[in-house]
Amino acid sequence: MEIKAFADKVCKAVKRELGADYRVEVKKVRKNNGVIHYGLLILSKEQNVAPTIYLDAFLEAYEQGSTFGMLIERMLAIYGAGAPGKNVDLDFFRSFEKVKDRVCYRLIGRKGNEELLRDVPYIEFLDLAICFYYAYQGEQLGEGSILIHNSHMEMWESSTAELMRLAQENTPRLFPWICGSLRDIVSGMQEPGGCGREEDESPEESFWDEIPMKVLTNEKRTQGAVCMLYPEVLARLAEKEKRSFYIFPSSVHEVILMADRGKGEAESFKQMIVEINDAQVAPEEVLSDSLYYYDFAEKKVKIIF
């Protein structure tokens, strides 16, 4: 069954289940890289916001044998657990003074996001775009993000340069960076702003030579690729061994750093990035097919391929 037909069927079933006191509709949500997901929005008369229930996984479960009724029950349970019990005051978002301390930035690829970038403030960085969002945190909705559009910037009488200045201060504070081996990242062994060194590891052992591949992300492990923009992070990591390193854009959530061992590996690294993006990374989480390089002598990031 096509996702649109499934979404329409779900919408009608939920409307019958909840009755006239609820508004139920299907939303087409544009994600990163132009990926479209279908979601279900349910609102009671007392609510102005509610979580979007994405339907792709439910369609997959349906095609694998789950009953339609069981899926509807599960969706209603998700709605009941996640929806706020009353209206959420969103008027604060009109005040720049109230939002400026949580303006943050993230990285997306420019290729594939052309339509989105026409509607949001951004700054070019290599073949990427630095975009801005408000990092929401509240009792009713928990943690989330609101993408900043041109209309928001105009309402606040702000500028892209001001958003960038705020994001450079706020993002490292709210989402501290971590860097370590994949094992350390998964096990949570790093302190924020740390490099994943284990307690029993000798200080004489090389940060790069013991495990030449490191993962750079933030402590939330989400939208962590932007940590490569944090002031002095790449310079600090390069300074440990006074050497340059390659940067693999493994997803929007992290980048992989690989020490330059002088073996002429760039071409094979580029092919590896393309193959992994095609086979292992969700389309909306792909950052770029490019291979980047941090040059220790020049103290800058450049594109190799």
Domain limits, the chain: 3-82, 91-170, 177-303
Structure tokens at 232: 């002095």
pLDDT of residue 197: 40
Instruction: Report, as an integer, the average pLDDT of 223-230.
Output: 97
Report the distance separating Cα 105 and Cα 75, nearest Å. Answer: 32
pLDDT average, residue stretch 159-185 = 92
Task: Tell whether the torsion through CA atoms of 111, 31, 278 and 177 is positive or negative.
Answer: positive
Q: What is the pLDDT of residue 287?
A: 97
Whole-number pLDDT of residue 265? 85
- Is residue 84 scored above 80 in pLDDT? no
What distance in Å separates the CA atoms of residue 44 and residue 47, rounded to the nearest whole number? 5
Res. 155: pLDDT tops 90: yes
- Burial (CB < 10 A; 0-12, 13-18, 19+), residue 171, is buried
- Please name the residues in contact with 166: beta carbons below 8 A apart, sequence gap of 6 or more: 100, 101, 103
Task: Report which of 6, 5, 45 is spatially closest to residue 23, judged by C-alpha positions.
Answer: 45
Mean pLDDT value of segment 87-108: 89
Say which residue the tokens 């009488």 belong to. Answer: 157
For the cut 50, the answer to whether the pLDDT of residue 202 exceeds it is no
* Mean pLDDT score across all residues of the chain: 88
Q: Are 51 and 80 in contact (CB under 8 A)?
A: no
| CA 3 to centroid of chain Cα atoms | 24
What percent of the chain shows pLDDT beyond 70? 87
pLDDT bucket at 229, cuts 50 / 70 / 90: very high
**What pLDDT, on a 0 to 100 scale, did the predictor assign at position 203?**
40
What average pLDDT does this structure show over 49-61? 91
- Among 215, 226, 221, residue whose Cα is nearest residue 248: 215
Backbone angles phi, psi at 215, to 5 degrees: -105, 130
**Range 250-259 average pLDDT:** 95
CB 269 within 8 A of CB 257: no
Q: Is the pLDDT of residue 210 over 60?
A: no
**Cβ-contact 72, 17 below 8 angstroms:** yes
pLDDT average, residue stretch 129-153: 86
